[in-house]
Amino acid sequence: MYVRLMANFKGTDLDVHPLCLGGNVFGWTADKPTSFAVLDAYAAAGGNFVDTADMYSAWVPGHQGGESETIIGEWIAARGNRADIVIATKAGKDEPMDEPHVRAKAEASLRRLQSDYIDLYYVHYDDENVPLEETLGVFDALVREGKIRHIALSNYSPPRLVEAMAVAKREGFAKPAAFQPHYNLVERGVFEDELQGIAQREEIGVVPYWALASGFLTGKYRSDGPAVDSARSETAAKYLDDRGRAVLSALDQVAAEHDTTVAAIALAWLAAQPTIVAPIASARTVEQLAGLLPMAEVELTDDQLKVLDEASAGS
């Protein structure tokens, strides 16, 4: 049986499972006991790469943000497995990415995670009002202080990503090891047009978010099926056009050929693309996770990749 090997961020010692477990649901649609169960099942399957952010789940009434980090920290403390888990978290969305704010946010994340280091620390959103030299400089200082192991960037435009990499090189800062864009079978253009080439040239490992298009690429949102009541159904429904239906049909075909889930095929397609280290997908139940994990056992043929590429052309 084919099993996808652990993936590596080039130039680092970070070896990660090919499925990055998204932590955005922890403390939101998955309570603490359920989150622990999902994390346990992921680890039992060989998973070691968990993605979160300091803002998760600030959008929930009564929440302040940091709920996901807190649950992950409590799980790691309970299991005693910090050295076995690669934690990626993010700083910044609605606050400046200057030195005082970044330091404060890093320290808060470390407290919630109950850890003295973060493996992969992202600039969550580019703050064009703060010089890149300052933002990347404080991230570099945190690396030198041992509080973060590797720098990462998320949601940067192509020109700003190029500029950030140039600034890091010119200033002698730690090189960003990872980049997190929005990329999946129904959202291809923005990444593939420019960002993919930059990632290849700069040798940045890519970790796509919304890898399943808010659940659309699991196949549960279909015009001929029952409506699905979930926190993401409205977002997913926007893809239910002719192209979206063609993508689902192609996924159905390939999933049947592998006797696996539609979600696993969508994730395997991403994993097969240049520069991709591990797509991010979240699961609010152990049963949902079970539909994602087979992606590590799927090796798509050239013909199957062509079927999926042609169905999703123009996305």
Active site residues: 56
**Count of alpha carbons within 13 angstroms of residue 173, beta-carbon side:** 24
Q: Are 284 and 38 in contact (CB under 8 A)?
A: yes
From 23, 51, 4, 39, select the one nearest 178 (Cα to Cα).
51
